[in-house]
Structure 1
C-alpha cells in the first residue's frame, strides 16, 4: 500500500531572521517580501528568487513593517521609533516616535499617510513627504482606550484593536473621533484584526482559538450576519487544547482567508459559507504571521515560536513561501438539492 506524502510546507527562504518573526508583508506591486523580527532587523526578500535584497536595523526589536511602494518601506520598533528606509540606496531615517514600543504600522494609499499604534495607548498619523526628523511629520494623534495590539486598513476605513478587547473604527477623512466604538465579541485578548478586501467588515482573532467575523453595517440586518467560530484546537482523551490564533490573511482575489495558530497549522476558510477549505501540513512551530502576494499566487508563512509556553527550546525560526493552488482558496459553489 502506498503512503500518501503530505505536501511540502513551501520553499524555505535562505538567510532568515536570527530571532522571532513579528510580521511579514508582500508588496502590492511585486513578489518582494518585507520581514520584521525581534533580532532588530527588517529584511527585504525577493520571494520568488529566494534572495535577501536588503537589511535595515533598529535599536530594539522590530514589531511590524509595511511597504510604502516597491522602493521604500516603514517599520515600528520596540525602541519606540517609527522608521522609513529606501531599499536601493540603503538610506533610512526616523519618521517619528511614541512614548512606548510601537506595535503596528500601516501605510494608507487613500490618505497618503503612515499610521502607527503603540503600547503608549496612542494612534498617530504621519506625512512621510514632510521634512525628516522626529515629530515634524506628525499630522494627528488620537488617544486609545488601551494599548494598541493590531490595526488594519481598507479604503478610508481604519480598524484599531487594543487591549481590553476594545475595537475602534475610524474614517480616515475625519479622525476627530471613532466612527464606531465596539467591544470584541470574543471573550479573550485580541491577537489580530484584518479588514475584508471588499470593505464590508473585519475579522478578529483571539488567544483562545477563535475568530469573529464582524460587519461595519450597524443595521439589525447587517449585525445579524456576524458570527464567531472555533479553530486551532485539538481534542485528545475528551480534553480540548486551545491555541492562540496569531495571524489572519485574506486572499486578494477570492476573499477567503488563512489563519495561523500556535498549533503550527495554517487553515484556509470560506467565511461566506462558514466552511474550512483546506489545512496545510503542520509547520515546525507556531505560525507568527501570514501574507498572500498581490495576485494570491503565493502565501508567505512565518514558522516562528511565539513564547506561548515560556522560554524553552524550539525549532529554528523560518519563513516558507508556498505556491497556492486554486482548489485551496477558491470558494466551492453551493449545491442545491434537485427538486423532486
Structure 2
C-alpha cells in the first residue's frame, strides 16, 4: 500500500514509546452514535466491520491513499421486530460473509454478494436460537465446509451450517455465561464467567477437549488465539494478561504479566488498575496488542517476554482492536466500555475509530526470538 499505510514510510522511533500522530480517524459523520462493541478487518478485502451499541453494524472501505468511506450499514432488527445491540462481529475466512451477534440472542448473517453497491441494507438472514445475548462468533472450516460457532450468555455453544441456518451437532453446555471467544485453525477457545476457559479441537467440535481455570484471579474480559494456534492470550479486569499454551507439554511456557496500570506518583505501593478490553495478534509476526480502559495500547513479543511499544493515552477507553489482513494497519475504537454502568454513559463520552499505520519495527519480534 502507499502513502499513509505504506511499508516504505519513515520508520517509527526506535524507543519503546510509540507515536500516534499519524493515526487516521474515521470521520465522525459516518461513525455509530453509541459505544463500539467490536472491530473486525476482512481477511480478503480492504474492509473494516464495526458493531455498536446503537444497534448497527457498519462496514467501511479504506483505500491506499488513507481515505475511508462508509460502504454498507445494517440495523440489527430481527424479523420478529425490535432492535438488538450487536455484541460481536466476525468475517468468514474467504471474506464473502459476515456475522454479528445481538444482545437478544439473534445471529445476523450478511452475504456480501447480496449486499448491493452500498448504503443501508438488510442482513441476508437472521435467526434466534439462543436465549440470551450472543457474545462470541467464529467462522471455521471442517471437511471443506464453512461453519459458524456461536457462544452466548445462555451458557451454550452452538454450531451452524450457513446460509441454511441449520444447527449442526449437539448444543454444548458451557460452565457459565460466555464472555469471549476466538478460533484459529482447529483451536477454539471459549472464556466464560467465573473464570472458566473451555478449549475445543474443531476437528472434533462437539466435545470440550479440556476446561481450565483462568490463571488470572479476576474476571476474564477477552481471549485471543495465537497466530500459529498453539495457544491463546487471556486479558482480565485486573490489568493483567496471561499467555497459555493448549498442549499440556508446553505448560512450562505459560506466564502472566501486569499491564494497563498507572502508578500513583505519590505512593509506589499504590497503582490504578484498568481492564484489558482487547487483545489482537499480528497476522504475520505473531506479536500481539493489548488495549484497555486506561485508553492506551501496547505491542508485545510473547516469546521474548518483552514490550515492543507502548502508546500514549488516546482520550478514552479502548473497547476493541483489530489488525488488517496484511498487518499494516491496527484499528482501535475509543468509546465507553460500560465499566461504570449504564448511568455513566453520556454524550460526553467519545466515540472514535482510528487506524494506526504499522511503521518500521513496531510489531516485529525481537531478533533471535521464535516467530509464531
Look up the SS of the partner of 1:66 in the other structure.
strand
Does the 8 A contact of 1:285 with 1:315 survive in 2?
Answer: yes
Look up the SS of the partner of 1:112 in the other structure.
strand
- Displacement of 1:47 in angstroms is 3.0
Pair 1:42-2:44 in alignment: no
Q: 2:288 aligns with which of 257, 267, 270?
A: 257
Pair 1:307-2:321 in alignment: no
Alignment partner, residue 160 of structure 2: 126
- Displacement of 1:35 in angstroms is 0.6
* 1: CA distance, partners of 2:217 / 2:154: 23
Alignment partner, residue 266 of structure 1: 297
Alignment partner, residue 150 of structure 2: 116
Alignment partner, residue 30 of structure 1: 45
What is the TM-score of this pair, normalised by structure 1?
Answer: 0.91
Look up the SS of the partner of 1:223 in the other structure.
helix
Alignment partner, residue 254 of structure 2: 226
- Displacement of 1:97 in angstroms is 2.3
Instruction: Give the gaps of 5 or more residues in structure 2.
Output: 1-16, 77-82
What is the TM-score of this pair, normalised by structure 2?
Answer: 0.84
Q: 2:328 aligns with which of 263, 279, 297?
A: 297
Pair 1:86-2:136 in alignment: no
CA deviation vs aligned residue, 1:236-261 (integer Å, no higher than 9, x gap) = 12220000000000001111001000
Higher fraction of strand: 1
Alignment partner, residue 367 of structure 2: 333
CA deviation vs aligned residue, 1:105-148 (integer Å, no higher than 9, x gap) = 11113451111110000001000042x5xxx4454411101000
CA deviation vs aligned residue, 1:26-53 (integer Å, no higher than 9, x gap) = 0110220011110000000013331000
Q: 2:26 aligns with which of 13, 16, 21?
A: 13
* 2: CA distance, partners of 1:129 / 1:51: 28
Pair 1:51-2:69 in alignment: yes
- Displacement of 1:315 in angstroms is 3.4
Does the 8 A contact of 2:18 with 2:310 survive in 1?
Answer: no
Number of aligned positions between the proteins: 326
Does the 8 A contact of 1:145 with 1:166 survive in 2?
Answer: yes
Check 1:176–1:230 CA distance in 2 against 1; reply closer, same or farther (3 A cut): same
CA RMSD of aligned residues (A): 1.9
Q: 2:314 aligns with which of 283, 294, 303?
A: 283
Does the 8 A contact of 1:66 with 1:105 survive in 2?
Answer: yes
- Displacement of 1:91 in angstroms is 4.5
* 2: CA distance, partners of 1:218 / 1:6: 39
* 2: CA distance, partners of 1:170 / 1:16: 36
Alignment partner, residue 106 of structure 1: 138
Alignment partner, residue 86 of structure 2: 62
* Bigger relative contact order, structure 1 or 2 (CA pairs below 8 A, ≥6 apart): 2
